[in-house]
Amino acid sequence: MKSVVIQVSKLVHLIYVPELTILIAREAAKSNMLAWEEKALAEQISKSNACFALHKNRLVGYVGLAEWNAYVEISALIVKAEFRQKKIGSALVKKVIQLALEKFPSKEVIILPNKISSRISLKLGFQAKAKTEFAQEIWSACPNCKEIATFPDCHCQPMIFQKRLT
Ligand SMILES: CC(C)(COP(=O)(O)OP(=O)(O)OC[C@H]1O[C@@H](n2cnc3c(N)ncnc32)[C@H](O)[C@@H]1OP(=O)(O)O)[C@@H](O)C(=O)NCCC(=O)NCCS
């Protein structure tokens, strides 16, 4: 969508935090993603560890980077319902991969996608790996997931970025 711009986050984007938190909470209630608190989103945005999709300065989509010791995780991916299936989610993930590679060259770029975002991730160069191949640290958010009782036989399929973007 030509009129949608993708921008690396800056302090000016903090105005979108309340709206973004509500959008994410709605999707979290449907078990599509984990919930994020305003404070954590604000920190991610302030550190320029996120990308926004904006249409005429209105919030359209968001994706962030969560820092682990060994990894940088693509997280909190969301596109407003009325803007979906227009490749905005794919554009956000592509931009945030570039950001991750630039800012965290020594870390593996990972994603814990759901069904739709796994489609995006596979197309952009991620590969699914067994949970046993990941360091324990990334499972610390699992107690907040409704599938925790079935871990590690849950639906979560972690992926690692395998190739450089062209
Ligand atoms: C996941 C999400 C960000 C995708 O955003 P989007 O802008 O619609 O994604 P894209 O338009 O780039 O679509 C990417 C691919 O997924 C497919 N897709 C998108 N929505 C789909 C749907 N509801 N059902 C089936 N396929 C879908 C597209 O057809 C496209 O496939 P293609 O590349 O083979 O053509 C968006 O659906 C969303 O915000 N969902 C709610 C939050 C969420 O689930 N976040 C992910 C947490 S891991």
CA distance 4 to 118: 23
Q: Which domain holds residue 155?
A: 4-161
pTM for this prediction: 0.95
CA distance 65 to 16: 17
In a domain, 135, yes or no: yes
In a domain, 166, yes or no: no
- Give the residues of the chain that fall short of pLDDT 70: 164-166
Regarding the beta carbon of 123 and ligand 1, being less than 6 Å apart is answered: yes
Regarding the beta carbon of 79 and ligand 1, being less than 6 Å apart is answered: yes
Regarding the beta carbon of 77 and ligand 1, being less than 6 Å apart is answered: yes
In a domain, 119, yes or no: yes
CA distance 95 to 50: 9
| From 85, 92, 126, mutation site for ligand 1 pocket: most ligand atoms within 8 A of C-beta | 85
User: What is the sign, positive or negative, of the torsion defined by CA atoms of 28, 68, 159, 145?
Assistant: negative
Report CA(74)–ligand 1 centroid distance (Å): 15
What is the atom index within ligand 1 of the atom nearest the CA of 123? 33
pLDDT (tens digit per residue) in 45-89: 999 999 999 999 999 999 999 999 999 999 999 999 999 999 999
Check if the beta carbon of residue 23 is closer than 8 Å to that of residue 36.
no
